[in-house]
Structure formats: structure tokens, C-alpha cells
Structure 1
Amino acid sequence: MEYEKIVSGTFIDRPNRFIAHVNIQGQTETVHVKNTGRCRELLVSGCQVILEDFRGRKEAKTRKTQFDLIAVYKKIHKTNPLFKDNGLLLINMDSQAPNKVAKEYLLTQDYDIIKPEFTYGNSRVDFYMEKGNRKFLMEIKGCTLEENGKGLFPDAPTERGVKHLKELTTAIDEGFECILGFVIQIPGVKEVAANIKTHPEFAQALKEAKQKGVKVLFLETAVKENSLKILKATQEM
């Protein structure tokens, strides 16, 4: 997936989870943050951020802000396995991007049917797929939290995430093949572990889901300022 037009800026602060103040070309702008997570380790005062620029586009007329914050350069220590060049790691933090690139990936996997936002029970699962007589349900989670070269999820307690895992676990009994896909929005990170310290309940739900037969898929990406692309998919062993 690619962004039509981008611009860089310097992060100032984040009054609430929906907006931030960013210095763009010498002007302080209020921008929309496309990730409602805490992102405290990413959005640090003075860091460089990347924004989608809607100025001059049709959508601009109906928007409250003219920019969406989509990526950030995170400063990492030289002991981090991901350390390169100037020690800045570009992380895509657009929470809508994982489902978009996941769909692009699924379209290359020879499924007969792919349905996004599939209604299952009292909620929606990100994707329903069919291949012959096999039926699949797939839930996507984006990973933006990195510690010493490894991905962790979640970065904040997620009751919604626990609910999704329990739904996938139940669906196994109904004949579905179920997948939890982690789209890793951090270049160089190949797998994701449950963040036990932040949300032990999610870690336990993930353990139970895997024991029941839910497969975990790690989707590695190439992160650029104007795009996100899945490079490789690896099933957890």
C-alpha cells in the first residue's frame, strides 16, 4: 500500500489519543493520529514523524485536519540488533495499514473467496476466506512495539484483542481454520511475542488459542515513508 502524498515534521506533543501537534515547515499544525494506542515509546517530543498530506485533495474539504500522522523515526541504542547508520528506525504506526497490506497478501495466496469485515457471531472478524471446502477466519493485529529487536503485542491492555482470540478459539470447534496474523510494522523484526507485563490476560488467551489450534502468522514488512509492503509470511512453529 502507498500513501498519495507525504510530508515530514517534528513531533511536539499529543493532547489526546486522536490528535497531535507537529511542526511542519515552520508551522505548528494539529494533525490526526492514525493510532489510538499509547505509543509512548514512539511519540517522543522532538522526534521526526511522517504525515500523509491532504492539502489540495478532495478529501480536505470534509476533514478536521489536513494531515494524518502515519510513521515515526524511533531512536534506538547501538546495542539494539536493528541498529543501522544513524540509529533511527522508521516505524509505520498507521493502525489502518495492517488490514490493507494483509488483504494485498491474501490476494496472492490463491484463495477462492476473500471477504473483509466478516460478521461472525456478535462481532466482525477481519477476514473470511475459502479454499475448496476449507473455511478460514483471520484476525489481524499490527505490531509497533519493539524492544531490543523483538516485537511485542499489545502496547496497551486490549480487551478487544482478548475477545477476538476467544472468538477464534470458539470457531475452531465449528470447523473453521483460524489464523491470528501479526503485521509487523517495524523493519527487521521477524516475530512477535505476547507482552505479558502489559496485558497478561492477552498472553493467556493467546496461549489457549494456540493450544486449541489457532495458527499464528508473522507478516514481515518493508517500511518506507510513503509505503508499507509485506515481504514474507512465517507461521509460528
Structure 2
Amino acid sequence: MKYKNIKEGIFIKRPNRFIAYVEIDGVMEVCHVKNTGRCKELLLPGAVVYVQKSDNPKRKTKFDLISVIKGNRHINMDSQVPNKVVQEWLEKGNLFKDVTLIKPEAKYKNSRFDFYVETKKDKIFIEVKGVTLEKNNIVLFPDAPTERGVRHINELIESLHDGYKAYVIFIIQMKDVDYFTPNSVTHKEFADALKSAHDKGVDILALDCIVGEGFIEIDKQVEVRL
């Protein structure tokens, strides 16, 4: 996926989860943050960030905060991008052969999964999670408790009994990590649900991404440790 109108800036502060103050071309700008997670380890004063200038002149904020440099690593933190790169990846024939249908936002019982996919022989639900939390080269999800995430995993398990295949795909919005593991310290219930799902037949995948100033694309599969 490619972005347009990308500019470099310096992160100043984040007064709430929706906006950040960023210095761009020597001017302090109010930017929309496209990630409502905590991201405290990423958005540090003085960090180099990349923002996208909006084409909409009526918007209150002219820029969206897209990515950040942490050490030597470029991390995309746009929470809308994981679904987009997964759809691109699936459409290129990755993961499944003979795909006949890719439907985003598919309803099943009390959940709305990110994708419903059909091949010539299988019907598949996919839930996608973006990962931006990295500690000591290990990536973790979630960075905050997610009851919604637990519900989705439990309903993926239920879908197996109705004859569907089910996947949870963690999109690691960076490169060169050692492995992925659920963040049991932050949300043990989610970690336990993910392990249970794996044991019952839900496929758990983690995929890293090549990230640049104006693009992100899925690269390789990363080890999952449950």
C-alpha cells in the first residue's frame, strides 16, 4: 500500500488519543492520530514521524500521523492499514489458492469479522490485528485490554463447528523482529483465548511488513509463540 503527500515531522506531544502536536517545516501542527492505542513507547518527544497531508480542505486537522522512527526501525502505526495490506496480499494469491470471493466486514452471529473468503472447497473467516508494540525485538498484542478481541476469537472458534475455517492474522507493522507472542501481562484473557483457539483449530499467523516513508507491504511470516 502506498500513501500520498507524506511529510516528515518531529513529534512534540499527544494531549489525547485522537490528536498529536507535530512540528512540520518549522510550524507546530495539530495532527490526527490514526491509532487510538496507547503507543507510549512510540510517541516520545523528539521522535521523527511521518504524516500524510489531507486532500480535504474542510478537515479540522490537515495531517494524519502515519508512522514513527523508533531507534533504527520504521514503524507504521496506522490502525486502518492492516486490513488494507491483507486484502492486497490475499488478492495476489497468497495464503489461499483458487479464491472465488474476498468479502471485507463479514457478519457472523454477534461479530463482524474482517474478511470472509471462499475458495473452490473452503469457506473461511479471517480476523486481522495490527501490531505496533515491540519490546527487546519481540512483538506483542494487545497493548491495552480488548474485550472485543476476546469475543471475536471465541466466535471464530464457534465458526469451526459450523464448518468454516478460521484465521487470526497479526500484521506486524515493522520489520526484523524475533517473534510474536500474545501480551499476557496486559490482557491474560486475550492470551488464553488465543491459545485455546489454536488448540481447537484456528490458524494463528504473524506477518511482518516492509515499511517506508510512504508505503507498507506484507513481507514474511514470523514465528508465533503462544
Query: TM-score, length-normalised on structure 2?
Result: 0.94
Which residues of 2 match residues 100-115 of structure 1 at below 5 A?
Answer: 100-109=84-93, 110=97, 111-115=99-103
How far residue 108 of structure 1 moved from its aligned partner, in angstroms, is 1.8
Which position in structure 2 is the counterpart of 1:84? none
Which position in structure 2 is the counterpart of 1:185? 173
Task: For residues 135-170 of structure 1, give each alpha carbon's deviation from its aligned partner in whole angstroms, at most 9, with x where no partner exists.
Answer: 000000011011111111111111111111111111
**Match status 1:16 vs 2:16:** yes
Unaligned runs of 5+ in 1: 76-87
Which position in structure 2 is the counterpart of 1:80? none
> Residues 73 and 150 of structure 1: is their aligned pair in 2 closer, same or farther, counting only changes over 3 Å?
same
Cα contact 2:180–2:222 (8 A) shared by 1: no
**Match status 1:213 vs 2:212:** no
Which residues of 2 match residues 40-119 of structure 1 at below 5 A?
Answer: 40-54=40-54, 57=55, 60-75=56-71, 88-109=72-93, 110=97, 111-119=99-107
User: Whole-Å Cα distance in 1 between the matches of residues 84 and 64 of structure 2?
Assistant: 16
User: Whole-Å Cα distance in 2 between the matches of residues 189 and 108 of structure 1?
Assistant: 24
Cα contact 2:128–2:169 (8 A) shared by 1: yes
Cα contact 2:137–2:178 (8 A) shared by 1: no
How far residue 171 of structure 1 moved from its aligned partner, in angstroms, is 0.6
Unaligned runs of 5+ in 2: none
User: Whole-Å Cα distance in 1 between the matches of residues 116 and 58 of structure 2?
Assistant: 32
User: Whole-Å Cα distance in 1 between the matches of residues 157 and 179 of structure 2?
Assistant: 21
What letter matches 1:63 in structure 2? R
SS state of the match for residue 205, structure 1?
helix
How far residue 235 of structure 1 moved from its aligned partner, in angstroms, is 7.7
What letter matches 1:26 in structure 2? G
Cα contact 1:216–1:235 (8 A) shared by 2: no
Structure 1 runs of 4+ aligned residues shifted over 4 Å read 234-237
SS state of the match for residue 163, structure 2?
coil
RMSD of aligned residue pairs (Cα, Å): 1.4
- Percent sequence identity is 49
Of 117-126 and 182-191, more deviation after overlay is shown by: 182-191
> Residues 151 and 69 of structure 1: is their aligned pair in 2 closer, same or farther, counting only changes over 3 Å?
same
Query: TM-score, length-normalised on structure 1?
Result: 0.90
Of 187-196 and 136-145, more deviation after overlay is shown by: 187-196
